[in-house]
């Protein structure tokens, strides 16, 4: 009994550093944001309780509304495309390129992941430039007129989505690749014996076996997409007009430009609720059960 208690104590001590980190940088800040969202607070002076006023204002604020709509569009565009692309590339590399070239390609595709958003944004501003941009020069070869990628409200958000997909695919590719390599080879051998072709093997074995991995990729993709800020801030500043303003940009502006921390916290709590709801829906879609 004494030995058990000693082991339990040791266990708690071992998890203590992680627990303190999670409590300090995740749980307590979320709780504090929740509290501050009911206050008028500019950081320097004491918070003043204002009840639901911040939430009422957030729901009426057309800037926030535009940011929410843009962010939802961004999630709907980036998450499915980056998931499909990374799965496709991972499957291709796992099946067709189990060699040095495949390793090289995987490394190359991971480079955008480690590139900073500022660097990526700057490079892509050059690529997407209207006059003299690389992309417009390429499409010009095929006789198309130059597109005002970042300066037109119809294309600015899509341009940011393209860059985000380019940046994220490498990361999710590695996750999918590891998942595919974990699928027992015997399943494919049995399927081949039964006469299944490559596509049937992919849709009947690979995809179902990757369900937990796909769920993880979608979850991460949704969370990251809702947090989009730096690319938009760097590439368009949320413009032209409000066409590429995102919800985190709205939170940032409220907190650091307007010094309205309470208001920013209310937006952050709204974002938290939206992500939780979407995650719950996603769990239903993937048929996941809580352990």
Partner 1 sequence: MNKKILAFLLVLVMVASMFAGCGASESAGNELTLWMAPMAGSDAEITDEEFWTEIGNEFGAANNCTVKVEIIPWDSYEEKYLTGVTSSDGPDVGWLYMEMFYDYIEMGALVDLDAHFTDAEKDNYLYYNLGNIQGGQYALPFIVGNPRIMLANMDILAQAGVEAIPTTWEELAAACDAVLANCPGVIPLVQDWGNPHYGSLNEIFWPYFWSAGGEIVDDAGNLTINSAEGLVATELLYDMAQKGYLGANATACDDVKVPFSNGEAAFVFMASGNALKLEGINWEYVTALQGPQDAETFVAADSLVMFESCENKELAAKLMKYLTSSDVMSRYHKTITDQPPITADEEYTGSEKYAGLFTDDAGMLRSLPVFKGASSMYDALYKNIQSMMLGELTPEEVLTKTTEYYDSNLK
118 φ/ψ angles, rounded to the nearest 5 degrees: -65, -45
Burial classification of residue 258, based on how many CB atoms lie within 10 Å of its CB (0-12 exposed, 13-18 middle, 19 or more buried)? exposed
Interface contacts to partner 1, rule CB under 8 A? 10, 13-14, 16-17, 20-21, 42-45, 57, 60-63, 118, 125, 129-131, 148, 150-153, 233-242, 245, 252-253, 255-259
Q: At closest approach, how far in Å is the CB of 146 from partner 1?
A: 8
Burial classification of residue 61, based on how many CB atoms lie within 10 Å of its CB (0-12 exposed, 13-18 middle, 19 or more buried)? middle
Rounded Cα distance between 271 and 224, Å, is 12
Rounded Cα distance between 159 and 235, Å, is 9
Tokens of 108: 């190359």
Find the DSSP H helices in 238-287.
Answer: 247-252, 261-285
Nearer to partner 1, 82 or 156 (CB): 156
Nearer to partner 1, 184 or 241 (CB): 241
Q: At closest approach, how far in Å is the CB of 56 from partner 1?
A: 12
Q: At closest approach, how far in Å is the CB of 73 from partner 1?
A: 17
Q: At closest approach, how far in Å is the CB of 64 from partner 1?
A: 9
Rounded Cα distance between 80 and 264, Å, is 29
Q: At closest approach, how far in Å is the CB of 144 from partner 1?
A: 15
Tokens of 53: 């006023």
Nearer to partner 1, 78 or 243 (CB): 243
Nearer to partner 1, 45 or 186 (CB): 45
Nearer to partner 1, 13 or 141 (CB): 13
């Amino acid at each position: 009994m004494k030995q058990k208690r000693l082991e339990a104590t040791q266990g708690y001590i071992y998890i203590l550093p992680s627990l303190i980190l999670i409590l300090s940088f995740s749980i307590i800040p979320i709780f504090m944001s929740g509290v501050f969202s009911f206050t008028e607070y500019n950081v320097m002076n004491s918070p003043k309780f204002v009840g639901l006023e911040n939430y009422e204002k957030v729901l009426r604020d057309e800037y926030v509304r535009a940011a929410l709509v843009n962010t939802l569009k961004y999630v709907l565009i980036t998450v499915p495309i980056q998931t499909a692309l990374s799965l496709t590339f991972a499957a291709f590399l796992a099946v067709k390129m189990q060699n040095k070239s495949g390793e090289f390609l995987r490394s190359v595709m991971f480079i955008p992941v480690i590139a900073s958003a500022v660097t990526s944004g700057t490079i892509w501003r050059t690529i997407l430039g209207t006059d003299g941009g690389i992309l417009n020069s390429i499409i010009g070869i095929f006789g198309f007129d130059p597109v005002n990628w970042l300066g037109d409200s119809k294309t600015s958000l899509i341009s940011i989505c393209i860059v985000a997909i380019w940046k994220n695919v490498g990361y999710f590719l590695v996750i999918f690749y590891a998942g595919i390599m974990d699928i027992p080879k015997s399943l494919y051998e049995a399927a081949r014996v039964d006469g299944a072709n490559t596509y049937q093997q992919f849709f009947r074995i690979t995809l179902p076996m990757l369900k937990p991995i796909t769920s993880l990729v979608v979850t991460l993709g949704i969370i990251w997409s809702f947090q989009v800020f730096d690319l938009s801030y760097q590439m368009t500043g949320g413009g032209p007009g409000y066409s590429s303003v995102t919800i985190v940009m709205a939170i940032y502006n409220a907190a650091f430009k307007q010094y309205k921390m309470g208001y920013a916290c209310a937006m952050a709590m709204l974002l938290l609720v939206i992500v939780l709801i979407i995650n719950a829906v996603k769990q239903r879609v993937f048929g996941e059960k809580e352990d």
